[in-house]
C-alpha cells in the first residue's frame, strides 16, 4: 500500500482523516494506569493534510482554519513522528513538513493522531524507507494510542490500549453531523475524571444493510467517557440533546474523550439540514458534516 500522492516538486501529500468512536467502552485499567479499551473507530472524509518535501533539517509549517490552536505549543506530534521515524529508519530525516489543519484540536476526533500517522506514511515514502507494517505500527503506538488505527484509516475495533486492531464488518453508507460546543478537552483530564466502573465489550460480526440497522446495533452501546467529559464541559449535554431531537437523527453520541458529539443520518441531506438548524440556534458551536469512509482510497 502506498497512500501517498506526489504533488509536484518532489512533494508528497497524505490525507489525515478525522475519526469518530461509534462506541467506546472501558474494560479495565492496567497497573501502569492505562485503560483497556473496546471501541469501534470509523473515519470521515473530513481531513487534515500533511505535505512533505526533502530539505535540510526538519521544519513544520502550519496553515488552515484550526492552525492557530497549534501555534506556540512546545512541540507537535507531527514533528515527534518525524523524529521517531528517522531514528527507526537510521536516516538523517530532513524534510519540510506542511500541515493544513482543518480538524479541531482536542476535540475527540483524533486529529493529532491522524496527523502523526499521515506524517509517518508521507515521510516513509519521501525517505524511501521500507519499514514493514508491524514496525510502522510500533512506531505509531509510541506516539499515541490512536495513531496505529489512523495508519490505515479503515473501520476497526480497537482493543488493549490502542494497539490491538481487528477489522470491522462491512458498514453501510452513513453521514455524520459533528457538533462541538466550543470546548477543548485534554484526553488525560477526561480519563482522570472518569469515576470508575467498567463495561463489557460491544463487538459484533454481522454486516449491516443500512444506516438504520447500524444505529439499532449501536443503540445498546455507549461512550463510557461521556459523563466525565460532560462534567468538565457542561455544554456537551446540551449538544447531545439537540442532536437527539433533530429530524432524521438515527443515533447521537460523543466521540472519544469529547467534546465533539455527532449524530448519524441516513443521507447527506439529513445531516446537512440538521447542521443548518444547529448553526442557526447556536452560532457559537463548531459544526461540520462528513461522510463515513471505507478507507483512504474512499477519499477521492
CATH of the domain at 274: 3.30.70.890
Q: What is the largest CA-CA distance in the chain?
A: 55
Enumerate residue ranges in the chain where pLDDT < 50.
Answer: 1-8
Position 267 scores a pLDDT of 98
**Do 40 and 84 belong together in one domain?**
yes
Domain boundary among 167, 202, 231: 167
Rounded-to-integer distance, Cα 85 and Cα 121, Å: 10
Q: Which residues of 165-177 are buried (b: 16+ CB within 10 A; e: fewer)?
A: beebeebeebbbb
Same domain, 248 and 133: no
Specify whether 38 is located in the same domain as 184: no
DSSP annotation of 257 reads T
Residues 225 and 179 in one domain: yes
Query: Which residue segment(s) compose the domain that 45 sits in?
Result: 5-167
- 199 and 275 together in one domain: yes
**Opening angle at CA 289, ends 285 and 295, nearest 5:** 135
Q: pLDDT value at position 133?
A: 93
Per the CB < 8 A criterion, the answer to whether 168 and 152 are in contact is no
0.75 surpassed by pTM? yes
Please check whether residues 158 and 260 belong to one and the same domain: no
Domain at 37, CATH number: 3.30.230.10
What residues does 9 pair with on adjacent strands? none
Is residue 107 a contact partner of residue 19, using CB atoms and an 8 Å limit? no
Same domain, 147 and 277: no
pLDDT reported for residue 4? 43
DSSP character string of 196-245: -------------SSHHHHHHHHTT--BTTHHHHHHH-THHHHHHHHHHH
The phi and psi torsions of 251 (rounded to 5 degrees) equal -160, 135
Give how far the C-alpha of residue 144 lies from the chain's centroid of Cα atoms, to the nearest Å: 12
Can 146 be counted among the known catalytic residues? yes
Asked if residue 70 and residue 52 are part of one domain, the reply reads yes
Percent helix, strand, coil in the chain, to 5, is 35, 30, 40
140 lies in the same domain as 42: yes
Catalytic option among 19, 38, 183, 224: 19
Nearest to 107 by CA among 48, 59, 173, 34: 48
- Position 6 scores a pLDDT of 39
Number of domains the chain is built from: 2
Domain end, chosen from 142, 167, 192, is at 167
Domain finish residue from 167, 202, 222: 167
Say if residue 112 is in the same domain as residue 200: no
Measured in degrees and rounded to the nearest 5, phi and psi for residue 44 equal: -125, 160
Residue holding cell 475495533?
A: 157
**Dihedral of CA 164/230/188/83: which sign?**
positive
Distance of alpha carbon 73 from alpha carbon 10, whole angstroms: 29
Tell me the per-residue pLDDT of 171-206, one tens digit each, with 9 for 90 and over: 999 999 999 999 999 999 999 999 878 999 999 999
Cα–Cα dist 37/214, whole Å: 21
Given the residues 48, 146, 224, 288, the one annotated as active site: 146
Q: Are residues 153 and 222 in the same domain?
A: no
Alpha carbon separation from 265 to 185, 199, 215, 280 (Å, rounded)? 26, 27, 9, 19
Does residue 19 sit in the same domain as residue 143?
yes
Angle, alpha carbons 86-300-292 (nearest 5°): 90
Output b/e per residue, 204-239; b: 16+ Cβ within 10 A: eeeebeebeebbebbeebbbbbbbbbbebbebbbeb
The yes-or-no answer on residue 19 being catalytic is: yes
Amino acid at each position: 500500500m502506498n497512500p501517498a500522492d506526489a504533488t509536484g516538486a518532489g512533494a508528497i501529500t497524505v490525507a489525515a482523516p478525522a475519526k469518530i468512536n461509534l462506541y467506546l467502552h472501558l474494560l479495565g485499567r492496567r497497573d501502569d494506569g492505562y485503560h483497556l479499551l473496546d471501541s469501534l473507530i470509523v473515519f470521515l472524509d473530513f481531513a487534515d493534510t500533511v505535505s512533505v518535501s526533502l530539505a535540510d533539517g526538519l521544519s513544520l509549517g502550519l496553515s488552515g482554519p484550526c492552525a492557530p490552536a497549534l501555534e506556540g505549543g512546545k512541540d507537535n506530534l507531527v514533528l515527534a513522528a518525524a523524529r521517531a521515524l528517522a531514528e527507526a529508519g537510521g536516516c538523517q530525516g530532513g524534510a519540510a513538513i506542511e500541515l493544513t489543519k482543518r480538524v479541531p484540536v482536542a476535540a475527540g476526533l483524533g486529529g493529532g493522531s491522524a496527523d502523526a500517522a499521515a506524517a509517518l506514511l508521507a515521510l516513509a515514502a519521501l525517505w524511501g524507507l521500507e519499514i514493514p507494517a508491524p514496525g510502522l505500527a510500533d512506531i505509531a503506538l509510541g506516539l499515541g494510542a490512536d495513531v496505529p488505527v489512523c495508519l490505515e484509516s479503515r473501520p476497526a475495533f480497537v482493543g488493549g490500549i490502542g494497539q490491538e486492531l481487528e477489522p470491522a464488518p462491512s458498514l453501510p453508507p452513513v453521514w455524520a453531523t459533528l457538533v462541538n460546543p466550543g470546548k477543548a478537552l485534554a484526553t488525560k483530564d477526561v480519563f482522570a475524571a472518569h469515576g470508575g466502573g467498567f463495561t463489557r465489550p460491544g463487538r459484533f460480526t454481522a454486516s449491516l444493510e443500512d444506516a438504520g440497522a447500524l444505529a439499532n446495533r449501536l443503540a445498546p452501546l455507549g461512550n463510557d467517557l461521556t459523563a466525565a467529559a460532560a462534567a468538565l464541559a457542561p455544554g456537551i449535554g446540551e449538544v447531545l440533546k439537540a442532536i437527539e431531537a433533530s429530524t432524521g437523527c438515527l443515533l447521537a453520541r460523543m466521540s472519544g474523550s469529547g467534546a465533539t458529539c455527532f449524530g448519524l443520518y441516513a443521507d447527506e441531506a439529513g445531516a446537512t439540514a440538521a447542521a443548518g438548524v444547529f448553526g442557526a440556534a447556536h452560532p457559537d458551536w463548531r459544526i461540520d458534516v462528513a461522510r463515513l469512509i471505507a478507507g483512504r482510497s474512499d477519499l477521492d
